Amino acid sequence: MSRATVHDLLDRNEIAALQQWLAEHQPHEIADELGRTDELRAVLLFRLLGKDEALTVFEELDPPEQQKVLSGLRDQSFRDLVEAMDPDDRVRLLGESPAKFVHRVLIGLSPQERATTAALLGYPEGSVGRYMTPETVTLRQDLTASEALSRIHDRGTDAETVYTLLVVDDRRHFIGTVSLRDLVLASTEQPVSELTDPETLRVRADENAEDSARLMQDANLLDLPVVDSEDRVLGLLTIDDAVELIEAADSEDIARQAAASPWSGHYMSASVLQLARSRIVWLLLLIVAATLTVNVLQFFESTLEEVTTLALFVPLLIGTGGNAGAQAATASVRALAVGEVRTGDVLRVAWRECRVGLTLGVTLAVLGLGIGTVFVGVGVAATLAVSLIAVCGWAAMIGATMPLLAKRANIDPAVISTPLVTTLVDATGLIIYFMMARAFLGI
Amino acid sequence: MSRATVHDLLDRNEIAALQQWLAEHQPHEIADELGRTDELRAVLLFRLLGKDEALTVFEELDPPEQQKVLSGLRDQSFRDLVEAMDPDDRVRLLGESPAKFVHRVLIGLSPQERATTAALLGYPEGSVGRYMTPETVTLRQDLTASEALSRIHDRGTDAETVYTLLVVDDRRHFIGTVSLRDLVLASTEQPVSELTDPETLRVRADENAEDSARLMQDANLLDLPVVDSEDRVLGLLTIDDAVELIEAADSEDIARQAAASPWSGHYMSASVLQLARSRIVWLLLLIVAATLTVNVLQFFESTLEEVTTLALFVPLLIGTGGNAGAQAATASVRALAVGEVRTGDVLRVAWRECRVGLTLGVTLAVLGLGIGTVFVGVGVAATLAVSLIAVCGWAAMIGATMPLLAKRANIDPAVISTPLVTTLVDATGLIIYFMMARAFLGI
């Protein structure tokens, strides 16, 4: 049954058919459908779910959609859902919600869940503390494998994961981790201390969440222990949250690369104004930056009046320079994001990219010479060709180093987006072009 | 100790200091260092590792770097390493290696490992079969929880994961999965059949690997069962491989967005020529496409000669149009990648983005009118302002729908990169601008 049909069924209020559709689909498919529809229809559909299934589907939704569904529920269903959520998911939802909504959630919670939630909300935005689960199982070193397993059997029901167990001393200081795998594979009398990995990586709760997630990916960890400043165990960052963090960071980098503000909701449920708002600020900044090109062209207006054919190649030249700069900027931003490049590499990167740009420029210049000669003749064509070489070398060097310099200045390197690089390269490219023209054509 | 120092230590052959450096760093940090250096130094450093640590570090490397290290090793160490690799990692390495290298690996393997590897290599590139682990533990339904645990205890050592157990009938047909968590939390006599999740998702081995990885992310799975066409169990796709698949796909999309070919190696170890090669094809295509702008300008050359000041705003206008188009294209490509938009949404998307573009255009036109009036006067300024509105509406609509149309035609939507959109918008934007100029200025 197609999406349109679900929409129609909702509008025609065909309950039986909708229930059949729900029964035939996986929770994540139902969640996707909820994400695509407006608040009214989403709540209608959601109310048709059984209690257990409702929770499963609800957990698959992104925070803006969770808020959408919750806002349409009556108090009892509302309270049941927020009470049943994992604390880390609840904190993520609250972090993106207006104060009034946060209040409604908090007063609806049991005292215990409210205390846990308040503690997690105390960590700064974007820190691991906001994403970790405090519901873990801790073990003492002096247990045997079988004692540990029976402790997990008794205590594990409430834990978000039992695959990584935190080994602690009597004051909850972190000693290491042991995996459920090792406990199950060990002989029953083997002490936990022998199975503990003492070199286990861990992060402090106030450290950056995205960095922690990428660390998990680099080190192939299922769970990453989170500790406080005195190395006492607070919880675990689990792989499913790490994947979401990495994906959200990638989405943000991708949006930034095109000079749009990141937007955490579902694309299809965003309104025209929401989309426009996420894009307009950068466009305004860029159009202001682009007045630089007007200045440059005005400065060379006499040259332009003398040889109008020079204008023919302006879009081609600055387009190519922008593309070469964009390629280098993208490579550099990505290499920084995945940790392949460090800020200390800036000179090495600049030198390499400059050579890459010149290599590309020389190749393109051959083609440019041909195109230019066909359209207007060899003089302007030579100007174009030499400009292409210079512009490509310059664009690649600037494009690759700007993100590194941004990172050094503690600015998100992804802010040095393709359009920003392009706009800067446009202005400098024009200066190079007209200087070459004056030299070559003797104007 | 900084990276430069490791480099220097290697060049000065200071073994003791290097060994100390290795002892003080985590496997993934050592792997990163190996990725950054050339083959000669990488092998030197790698040989200093103890046998167990060498394997751990080796498993953290990307395929091109694994190949780099292996190529420098003598036969015995070479064979030990490839024999010890997980089958799925080995297959990934071989998939990206030249035939001669593949041959050297295969003849070095034990008959059993060679058979496993050959079987996995039989699946098409990019399919789940290439990424799954065949080393899993299967369970029969009639076991009790404690019998199942003791089977895992006996058989689990060789399995890549024991957190998801595959429940099968006597002919290995898939029945469902049971998690180690549920087995540990269950009472000892509870039958596996009661703990089995019958609705478990699964994929066929020849299905797309990236789609399967995103399915795992959507459904929050640690492991995804892989079956053959007759629903017999073949293996599991584990979350660490899914994360790598998603990250590789994101890197590829990001590279494509800037019109560069994806490159799977470490950025810092890529040579100038390798980088240039990954970028030149698109630049050549784009410069050919950009001759369209030369054509357009030549067509309007008389207009341009009459009012040279029109040329002043060409970079600003086409730059802004390109940016608006790039924002829409990026949003559309990303929404497709994460499954928020389907190809059937093309008309809905076109209509929304057109309105978004017009909204942006009107806002920018106000600024454009101001800039234009300051520089040259109200006539050209009005031309610019009206052109901005039209160009933004058009660019956003084209930018968002082209990726959807590409996907419909079975082309990777990320190929509709920002630069391609920009180049097309450049040409059409110029036509709009000069038509407006003729109308407004009465040329």
> What element of type H or E holds A216?
helix A209-218
Please report which residue ranges of B122-221 form alpha helices under DSSP H: 145-155, 180-185, 192-195, 209-218
Q: Do B419 and A157 touch (CB under 8 A)?
A: no
Phi-psi region of A172 (alpha: psi -120 to 50; beta: other; left: phi over 0): left
Cα distance from B16 to chain A (closest Cα, Å)? 22
Question: Residues of B with CB below 8 A from A272's CB?
Answer: 352, 355-356, 359
* pLDDT greater than 50 at residue A318: yes
pLDDT tens for A387-411 read: 999 999 999 999 999 999 988 988 8
Partner-chain residue, chosen from A240, A309, A342, that has the shortest CB–CB distance to B220: A240
Written as one letter, the residue type at A57 is: V
Q: Do B60 and A339 touch (CB under 8 A)?
A: no
Question: Residues of B with CB below 8 A from A418's CB?
Answer: 257-258, 326, 418
Task: Report which DSSP code applies to A170.
Answer: T
Choice among A28-32, B231-235, B352-356 with the minimum mean pLDDT: A28-32
CB-based burial of residue A424 (10 Å sphere; 0-12 exposed, 13-18 middle, 19+ buried)?
A: buried
> What element of type H or E holds A6?
helix A3-12
Amino acid B73: pLDDT:
87
> What element of type H or E holds A226?
strand A223-227
Of B258, B277, B313, the C-alpha closest to B430 is B313
Of A358, A259, A330, the C-alpha closest to B261 is A330
Interface residue of A150, A356, A359 to substitute, partner B, most B CBs within 10 Å: A356
DSSP string for B325-378: HHHHHHHHHHHHHTTS--GGGHHHHHHHHHHHHHHHHHHHHHHHHHHHHHHT-H
Cα distance from A219 to chain B (closest Cα, Å)? 6
Question: Residues of A with CB below 8 A from B316's CB?
Answer: 287, 290-291, 293-294
Residue B375 tokens read as 């520089």
Nearest C-alpha in A relative to B275: A356
Do residues B222 and A223 lie in contact, with contact meaning Cβ atoms separated by under 8 Å?
A: no
DSSP string for B187-209: -TT-BHHHH-BTT---EETTSBH
**Longest pairwise C-alpha distance within chain A:** 93
The CATH fold assigned to B271-441 is Tetracycline Repressor; domain 2 (1.10.357)
Give the whole-angstrom CA distance, residue A214 versus residue A252: 15
* pLDDT greater than 50 at residue B7: yes
Residue A81 tokens read as 């859902």
State chain B's mean pLDDT as an integer: 89
Interface residue of B60, B291, B358 to substitute, partner A, most A CBs within 10 Å: B291
* pLDDT greater than 90 at residue A320: yes
Cα distance from A220 to chain B (closest Cα, Å)? 6
Of B335, B342, B88, B338, the C-alpha closest to B217 is B338
Of A314, A287, A427, A285, the C-alpha closest to B371 is A287
Question: Residues of A with CB below 8 A from B26's CB?
Answer: 199, 201, 219
Question: Residues of B with CB below 8 A from A215's CB?
Answer: 28
Do residues A168 and A233 lie in contact, with contact meaning Cβ atoms separated by under 8 Å?
A: yes
Give the whole-angstrom CA distance, residue B30 versus residue B46: 9
Do residues B197 and B229 lie in contact, with contact meaning Cβ atoms separated by under 8 Å?
A: no
Taking residues A21-48, report their average pLDDT.
88
Amino acid A421: pLDDT:
85
Cα distance from B30 to chain A (closest Cα, Å)? 11
Structure ipTM: 0.80
> What share of chain A in percent tops pLDDT 70?
98
Q: Do B28 and A218 touch (CB under 8 A)?
A: yes
Nearest C-alpha in A relative to B355: A272
Question: Residues of A with CB below 8 A from B35's CB?
Answer: 340
Amino acid B133: pLDDT:
93
DSSP string for B218-265: HTT-SEEEEE-TT-BEEEEEEHHHHHHHHHHHHHHHHHHHTT-----S
Amino acid A420: pLDDT:
83
Cα distance from A253 to chain B (closest Cα, Å)? 9
Give the whole-angstrom CA distance, residue A126 versus residue A95: 10
Taking residues A61-80, report their average pLDDT.
87
Taking residues A191-208, report their average pLDDT.
90
Q: Do A279 and B60 touch (CB under 8 A)?
A: no
Helices H / strands E in chain B, number of each: 21, 6
Give the whole-angstrom CA distance, residue A137 versus residue A161: 8
Choice among A336-340, B77-81, B160-164 with the minimum mean pLDDT: A336-340
State chain A's mean pLDDT as an integer: 89
pLDDT tens for B99-145 read: 888 888 898 899 989 998 988 998 998 999 999 999 899 999 999 99
Taking residues B263-283, report their average pLDDT.
84
Give the whole-angstrom CA distance, residue B425 versus residue B323: 10
Angle, CA of A397, A399 and A402, to the nearest 5°? 100
Written as one letter, the residue type at A49 is: L
Q: Do A340 and B32 touch (CB under 8 A)?
A: yes
Do residues A207 and A179 lie in contact, with contact meaning Cβ atoms separated by under 8 Å?
A: no
Write the CB contacts of B103 (distance below 8 Å, at least 6 apart in sequence). none
Q: Do A240 and B253 touch (CB under 8 A)?
A: no
> Pairing state of beta strands A223-227 and A203-204?
parallel
Residue A256 tokens read as 């930034």
Q: Do B290 and A316 touch (CB under 8 A)?
A: yes
pLDDT band at residue B227 using 50, 70 and 90 as cut-offs: very high
Q: Do A287 and B313 touch (CB under 8 A)?
A: no
Cα distance from B207 to chain A (closest Cα, Å)? 19
Cα distance from B363 to chain A (closest Cα, Å)? 8
Q: Residue A200: helix, strand or coil by DSSP?
A: coil
**Rg, C-alpha atoms of chain A:** 29
Question: Residues of B with CB below 8 A from A150's CB?
Answer: none
Amino acid B263: pLDDT:
66
| Locus of tokens 């104060």 | A99
| Locus of tokens 């260092």 | B33
Q: Residue B102: helix, strand or coil by DSSP?
A: helix
Give the whole-angstrom CA distance, residue B338 versus residue B214: 7
Torsion of CA A339, A341, A343, A347, to 10 degrees: 180
Cα distance from B60 to chain A (closest Cα, Å)? 7
Q: Do A293 and B260 touch (CB under 8 A)?
A: no
Question: Residues of A with CB below 8 A from B356's CB?
Answer: 272, 275-276, 279
**Spacing of C-alpha A47 from chain mean position:** 32
Q: How many CB atoms lie within 10 A of CB A99?
A: 8
What are the phi and psi torsion angles at B434 (to 5°)? -75, -30
Question: Residues of B with CB below 8 A from A257's CB?
Answer: 254, 257-258, 330, 418
Partner-chain residue, chosen from A181, A363, A423, that has the shortest CB–CB distance to B156: A181
pLDDT tens for A96-146 read: 888 888 888 898 899 989 998 988 998 998 999 999 999 899 999 999 999
Taking residues A80-96, report their average pLDDT.
89
pLDDT band at residue A1 using 50, 70 and 90 as cut-offs: very low
Do residues B369 and B418 lie in contact, with contact meaning Cβ atoms separated by under 8 Å?
A: no
Q: Do A260 and B330 touch (CB under 8 A)?
A: yes
- Domain parsing of chain A, residue ranges: 3-122, 138-248, 271-441
Question: Residues of A with CB below 8 A from B60's CB?
Answer: 218-220
Question: Residues of B with CB below 8 A from A282's CB?
Answer: 323, 327
Give the whole-angstrom CA distance, residue A154 versus residue B186: 10
B432, HSE (Cβ side, Cα atoms, 13 Å) = 22
pLDDT band at residue B1 using 50, 70 and 90 as cut-offs: very low
* pLDDT greater than 60 at residue A257: yes
Taking residues B350-356, report their average pLDDT.
94
> What element of type H or E holds B141?
none
Give the whole-angstrom CA distance, residue B343 versus residue B176: 32
Of B267, B414, B244, the C-alpha closest to B334 is B414
pLDDT tens for A375-384 read: 988 889 999 9
Question: Residues of B with CB below 8 A from A341's CB?
Answer: 267-268
The CATH fold assigned to B3-122 is MgtE N-terminal fold (1.25.60)
Residue A353 tokens read as 């990219």
Partner-chain residue, chosen from A243, A253, A340, that has the shortest CB–CB distance to B266: A340
Q: Do A283 and B324 touch (CB under 8 A)?
A: yes
Question: Residues of B with CB below 8 A from A218's CB?
Answer: 28, 31-32, 60
Q: How many CB atoms lie within 10 A of CB B170?
A: 6
Q: What is the CATH number of domain B138-248?
A: 3.10.580.10
**Rg, C-alpha atoms of chain B:** 29
Characterize B226-264 residue by residue with b for buried, 16 or more Cβ atoms within 10 angstroms of its Cβ, and e for exposed. bbeeeeebbbbbbbbbbbbbbbbbbbbbbbbbbbbeebe
Do residues B33 and B61 lie in contact, with contact meaning Cβ atoms separated by under 8 Å?
A: no
Interface residue of A52, A155, A312 to substitute, partner B, most B CBs within 10 Å: A312
Nearest C-alpha in A relative to B276: A356
CB pairs under 8 A between A and B: 356
Write the CB contacts of B4 (distance below 8 Å, at least 6 apart in sequence). none
Q: Is the dihedral of CA A434, A436, A441, A442 positive or negative?
A: positive
Q: Do A275 and B331 touch (CB under 8 A)?
A: yes
